[in-house]
Amino acid sequence: MQYRTLGRTGVQASALALGAMNFGRIGRTTQDEATAIVDAALEGGINVVDTADMYSDGVSEEMVGKAIAGRRDDIVLATKASMPMGEERNHQGASRRWLVTALDNSLRRLGVDHVDLYQIHRWDPRTSDEETLSALTDLQRAGKIRYFGSSTFPAHRIVQAQWAAREHRLSRYVTEQPSYSILQRGIEAHVLPVTEEYGMGVLVWSPLASGWLSGAVRAGREITTNRSAFMPDRFDTALPANRARLDAVERLAAVADEAGLTLIQLALGFVTAHPGVTSALVGPRTVDHLRAQLAAADTVLSPDVLDAIVAPGVDLAAHEKHDTPPALLDPSLRRR
């Protein structure tokens, strides 16, 4: 396993990190299975575990807490907040009122007194940067979080938050967690240059493109990824974007075969090779899935074989990035 410095924090993070979104209802993963996955991850050299309050309505955090009991200090523990937790309208967002409560709830579920990295899951356009950063700074000074970061922020919002922290003399986001894979390269154009400029650590999610790069989606074969059950549109090969992805996957599979690699090794090796990326988050549902992903921990790719398949800075499914500006989604924000 390779280790990189998480931004400018001095914290050493493994090149592969364990994402716990599949723990609980989403991945139908039991506590025993989750604990076995955490055990195998730590044995394989992974030292970063990332979850979120909204994963299976808090169950993922509970499972992570039980799985890491007795070895908390060996793990860089990360969680996230701001996505809706229930029907109450103020149980979401990045206001001080909600973040203070949300963090206490996460600490209780995790069974710890602090998290190493607390991330704003999505940019909240209703809340000012000063409001959010001041709350996070106070939580940091109270010892409940060591660092804080953003997740899936557009590049201009990352810049704005950095300037707001400087203007108001507050602590700043030290990490960003964007989507990145061979099939979704858009962050190379805007986000990664910004995070490198500000010395931010980058933990990328969906490096296997929701299963497209796991070998579970191949031409002429039954789709076996768990995601297809609750995200059918993402795997409907009648749709043009998905036909383009399938064509790219087949071409990448040929490249992997020629290089003597699995498609997973190719995909994860591509992501972790970027100098702006600290860690790639893998989200296994089983120990076997994790072992296949750990095999990519030391993969080194030739630099001349990948750019011809998906061009740098291009997303084959841009609508799945979750970073579209609100004004493009809500017509009322485009009209007087």
**Euclidean distance between CA atoms 291 and 37, whole angstroms:** 9
Question: What is the pLDDT, as a whole number, of residue 314?
Answer: 86
- The pTM score is 0.92
Name all domains of the chain by residue range, CATH numbers in brackets: 3-334 (3.20.20.100)
pLDDT tier, 307 (very low <50, low <70, confident <90, very high otherwise): confident
Query: Concatenated DSSP letters for 313-336?
Result: T-BTTGGGSS---HHHH-GGGG--
Q: Residue 179: which of 281, 297, 292, 48 has the closest Cα?
A: 281
Question: What distance in Å separates the CA atoms of residue 9 and residue 173, rounded to the nearest whole number?
Answer: 11
Distance CA 104, CA 113 (A): 9
β-bridge pairing 3-5 and 12-14:
antiparallel
Backbone angles phi, psi at 59, to 5 degrees: -65, -35
Catalytic positions are 55
Q: What is the DSSP letter of 310?
A: S
Using alpha carbons, select from 136, 153, 134 the residue that is nearest to residue 202: 153
Strands 201-204 and 279-282, sheet pairing: parallel
Q: Quote the mean pLDDT of the chain.
A: 92
263-296 residue pLDDT tens: 999 999 999 999 999 999 999 999 999 999 999 9
Q: What confidence tens digit (pLDDT) does each residue in 161-198 have?
A: 999 999 999 999 999 999 999 999 999 999 999 999 99
Helix, strand, coil abundance in the chain, percent, nearest 5: 45, 15, 45
